[in-house]
Amino acid sequence: MALLHNRVSNEELKKRLMEETFQRTTISFYCYFPIENPQEFRDYLYKHLQALSVFGRIYVAREGINAQISVPSDKMDAFRTFLYSIEPLNQLRLNIAVDDDGKSFWVLKIKVREKIVADGIDDPAFSMEKKGRYVNARQMNELLQDPETIVVDMRNHYEYEVGHFVNALEVASDTFREQLPMAVDMMRGKEDKNIIMYCTGGIRCEKASAYMLHKGFKNVFHLEGGIINYARQAKLENLETKFIGKNFVFDDRLGERITADVIAKCHQCGKPCDNHTNCKNNGCHLLFIQCEDCASEMQGCCSVECRDTIHLPLERQKEIRKGIENGQNIFNKSQVRLRPRISPVNR
């Protein structure tokens, strides 16, 4: 019987990935459809995708599937054949990465969750069957020409910070479940306006559009395939790109360059920069924006404390990490700043 979980260390898997001589294609997809037995479906997926050497992160729930994966490019046809053999996924749109080096994932992880997008919705009357109307890249640009159109970004602050649509409203929150009621409150009094929701790949804004309709809004749209699909369509059809900057993605790349505009700033010195990184201190791993000069000076760390920590003996680093939650610093995504963490001793 084939193993349905990985048993190799991350270090070895990363090494194998870097030694691969073939190309990989990074793709994402999602689909809301009822799954009666998520665990059984999960195991079925793992068995077949592992055989195709697929890497990535997939969530399965009773409401559907959400996937970000990399596929050996020479196996894309075989992958599509398998995926489309699953009736609800037949001819499903696949978002192919815009800026891709094929090194986005190094292992296959498929997890069963309560929902593919944690939304905090507990209203039994809510349904994904009634959702907003899709708009493609051309339609998005046309709607954006109307000054009465309201564009709402349904991503987290650190995503919005490095790139967004012109004049898009930010719902400044750390989680999607917090954003949904906040978006409704922000739009009160505008129930008859054209409202376009968008996100990275479409999964959050599709649910957000259904929630807005559920709350009484009339003219709700959502961007088909999100920013990823928009950027590809705009390039193929030679359209003006209304999204400026970088599209944050949740894999090792941490971003896809859409336009040359750099609209964010280094969190340490304030110079123009939109490169996210994780603090090199294993007890921190704070996600923040750091320019090359600060990366060199701080050795990839978010603070002097973390920089000093990475030079300590490993055993001492492990001792420091014990009992500390969220590392040495907290990144307040809503306020975009680094702040010292209160020592557990002095709390």
Pairing of strands 194-198, 243-247: unpaired
Q: Which residues pair with 28 in a beta bridge?
A: 68, 95
| HEC assignment per residue over 212-254 | HHHCCCCEEEEECCHHHHHHHHHHHCCCCCCEEEEECCCCCCC
> How far is it, in rounded angstroms, from Cα 87 to Cα 185?
38
What gap in Å lies between CA 166 and CA 177, rounded to an integer? Answer: 24
Contact 300, 341 (CB under 8 A): no
- Is 279 among the catalytic positions? no
Q: Which of 31, 199, 273, 291 is catalytic?
A: 199
Q: Which amino acid is at 52?
A: L
> DSSP letters of 240-293?
PP-EEEEE--SSTT--EE-SS----B-TTT--B---EEE-S-TTT--EEE--HH
**Hey, how many other C-beta atoms are within 10 angstroms of the C-beta on 176?**
20
Judged by DSSP in three states, 341 sits in coil
- Residues serving a catalytic function are 199
